[in-house]
Structures are given as C-alpha cells and as structure tokens.
C-alpha cells in the first residue's frame, strides 16, 4: 500500500516546564509554538513564542497559568493562523516517547494499553515519561478524534541485524524488567541512513555519530544497525551535556541507596557530564574554556573526544574496519574542533580531514575528508521528518 506523507501532523515535545508544538504539512514545518515558564510576581507563568515558516518570531502578549492550558491555546492559534480547519484537519499528533522495552520499540496509536505501558516506564524514565503522559492526555482532550501516536526513539535500531542487543544478566531478571540494549536517537539514525541510501553514498561498514545535547554512536553494516552505544536508557555509552555516560554500575546503586532511585537517576542524567566537569553543558563554552586554560573545561573536552573516538575504534574492531564516518546533530554538524579532534585520533585507520572542513549547506551532505582519505560526511539530521514518515505509515496501516 502506498503511503501519502503529505498529511498535517502536530509534533509535540513535552518538557518538564515547557511545551513545543511543531505543525508540519508533509515534511515541511509551517509553524511552531513554544510555551516556556517564567517567574512573575513570585508565581510561575507561561509565555508563548510563535515561529513561522519564514523564520519570523512573535512573542505573544498573553500569559498562562499552566502548561495544560497550552493545548487549547495552540489549537486556537493554529486555527486563527489558518493552518488547520475543516478543509485541512489534523491527521495525527506525534509524541516522541524515549522509553525502553518491547512495547516502546515500536510506534503506536494511543489506546488503553499505551497508558498502562507509559505508567510502567515512569520508574526507568522519571524525567521524560511524565511529560509524555501529560502531552498525550492533553492532546486527546484538546483535539478529540485526532489519532495521537507515541513515536518510538528506538524503532530504527531494534532490528535482527543488531549484534549487541542483550545484557549478560540472569534471564529471569531480563524477562521481569523487559531489559535490553534498545538504544536511542533512532529517529535521527533512521533519517540519516535513509538519506545515505538516497544520496548513493552507502558503504559496507559505516559509523554514524549523533553528537548533540545527547550523544551516541551507531555502527551499520550494509545499511543495517549492528552496534549502538546507548542501552536500556540513554545513560549508557558516551558522556554528553548533562549525562554521565557509562560508569561503574555500583555508583548508581550507591546513589540510589543514598538519594532514592528517582533522585539518583536525575543526578546521572541532569547534573553530570560536561556540566559537572566544566560548569557548562554548551560545547561552545567548554571549547572556549579549554582554549583559555580552564582545567575543568579541558578535562571535559578531552574526555568527550576520547569517548567518541574510543567508541568508533571499538566498533571498528567489532566490524573488522570502517569504510566511512558520518557526523550529525548540533555538535556533529557544527563543531569543527570536535570533528577535527576525533578524526585526528583516527588517522591510523585511514581518515583525515581537510583543513577547511566545514559544512556546505547547498547540498544534503558534505564530504570533509582530505583527498585520499576514507569519506567523512556531515549529514544534517531531521528527526521530525523520520517520525512523520512513520506516522503516515501508521495512519495508513502500512506498519
């Protein structure tokens, strides 16, 4: 069955104190609304910024008392702007769901089972799932009759081709908690690998580095995922802006005993990583601090680069070599210092960057490798485009 992706979808990004509504027609974002909290007279209020397709922004003068009100307001704004109406109704609402487990390794149209699974996932994802639950409930109330979908963050990685999907734990524990190395950033990897095939630059053994506020690395053999750095949760693998990355699990157990599980998970996710070492979660500030001789910033930068290069080297050993490396997401696409430092450690594997290795925005990708080097690509990711494609298939009954 052919899938028509020229549909109108609303993509939600529900944070603990913010709500973003991105409206798409097909894969084109036509308008977004960002509600965020501010302090006013000692009380929490919420303001909204409207961003249109031409990049223009407008801060609305109205303020709201809670994020729950944002949904009805969003509907009213989109209708007033003429983006949705009887002739152009919403085809679906997408809620990105970064939860692990067999159920959330697939995309779903929300039903009673979805709510049961979301409640179970709150134990492992206390920072993300409550916002997702709020988003789903409010979306269903504000847009009755419109399909609401939970979009898996691991679907593109849960393939039979994966060689590292299990943990060395007793089977009864794995079964009881539904544990596995599900991975994350699946929408990014799904989009980038689709783009690689579309551009005709697929190599047999490729490593894609998704480096943003969260960081991961995934290895592909013949375009299918073989190894990925994140596990049951995004904590496993690389250090990132505020996450520890892989650490001795005993530390987690000790923190859980002292602080309680939810608070321990918060420390590992929200106050660690670059923030803990350098005092900033922004890689640009970390690099600037390192260049000025700040010891914490230098340590954070070196640890970050070593982590990425080390994971690429690990996957090279597991695959018996690498034919091409791809950088994507904010840091991967924009940070010349990070790319240069990582590839500088991998010259022994046949990779070398040009001195002026910057992104060429006129194309969908750039090969920033020196002549004679194996390819090093920069490919901008578009996670929303991948989710929209999958949502269109879900609505049309293709998946």
Catalytic residues: 153
Contacts of 302 (CB under 8 A, 6+ apart): none
Whole-number Cα distances in Å, 29 to 60, 330, 388: 20, 19, 11
Q: Which helix (DSSP H) or strand (DSSP E) does residue 140 occupy?
A: helix 129-142
Nearest CA to 227 out of 241, 239, 214, 209 is that of 209
How far apart CA 321 and CA 314 sit, in angstroms, is 10
Nearest CA to 219 out of 361, 295, 326 is that of 326
Beta-bridge mates of residue 43? 40
Q: Which residue bears the tokens 């590839």? A: 343
Specify whether the CB–CB gap between 312 and 217 falls below 8 A: yes
How far apart CA 214 and CA 254 sit, in angstroms, is 24
Beta-bridge mates of residue 51? 32, 57
Query: What proportions of the chain, in percent to the nearest 5, are helix, strand and coil?
Result: 40, 20, 40
Ramachandran class of 223: left when φ > 0, alpha when ψ lies in -120 to 50, beta otherwise: left
């Amino acid at each position: 069955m052919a899938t028509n992706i020229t549909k109108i979808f609303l993509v939600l990004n529900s944070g603990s104190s913010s709500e973003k509504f991105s409206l798409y027609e097909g894969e084109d974002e036509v308008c977004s609304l960002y509600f965020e909290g501010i302090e006013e007279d000692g009380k929490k209020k919420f303001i909204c910024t409207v961003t249109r397709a031409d990049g223009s922004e407008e801060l609305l003068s109205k303020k709201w008392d809670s994020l729950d009100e944002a949904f009805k307001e969003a509907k009213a704004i989109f209708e007033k702007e003429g983006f949705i109406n009887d002739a152009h109704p919403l085809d679906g609402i997408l809620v990105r769901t970064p939860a692990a487990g067999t159920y959330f390794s697939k995309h779903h149209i929300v039903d009673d089972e979805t709510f049961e699974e979301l409640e179970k996932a709150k134990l492992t994802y206390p920072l993300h799932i409550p916002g997702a639950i709020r988003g789903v409930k409010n979306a269903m109330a504000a847009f009755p009759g419109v399909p609401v979908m939970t979009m898996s963050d691991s679907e593109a990685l849960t393939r039979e081709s994966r060689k590292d999907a299990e943990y060395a734990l007793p089977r009864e524990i794995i079964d009881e908690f539904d544990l596995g190395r599900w991975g994350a950033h699946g929408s990014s990897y799904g989009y980038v690998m689709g783009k690689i095939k579309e551009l005709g630059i697929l190599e047999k053994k490729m490593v894609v580095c998704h480096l943003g506020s969260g960081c991961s690395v995934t290895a592909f053999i013949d375009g299918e995922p073989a190894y990925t750095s994140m596990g049951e949760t995004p904590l496993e693998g690389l250090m990132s802006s505020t996450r520890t990355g892989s650490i001795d699990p005993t530390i987690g157990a000790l923190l859980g005993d002292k602080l309680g599980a939810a608070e321990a998970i918060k420390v590992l996710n929200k106050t660690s990583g670059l923030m803990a070492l350098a005092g900033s979660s922004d890689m640009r500030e970390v690099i600037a601090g390192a260049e000025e001789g700040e010891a914490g910033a230098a340590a954070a930068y070196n640890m970050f680069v070593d982590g990425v290069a080390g994971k690429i080297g690990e996957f090279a050993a597991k695959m018996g070599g690498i034919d091409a490396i791809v950088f994507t997401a904010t840091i991967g696409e924009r940070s010349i210092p990070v790319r240069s430092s990582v590839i500088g450690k991998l010259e022994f594997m046949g990779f070398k960057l040009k001195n002026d290795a910057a992104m060429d925005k006129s194309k969908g990708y750039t090969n920033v490798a020196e002549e004679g080097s194996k390819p090093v690509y920069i490919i901008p990711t578009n996670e929303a485009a991948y989710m929209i494609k999958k949502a269109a298939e879900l609505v049309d009954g293709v998946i």
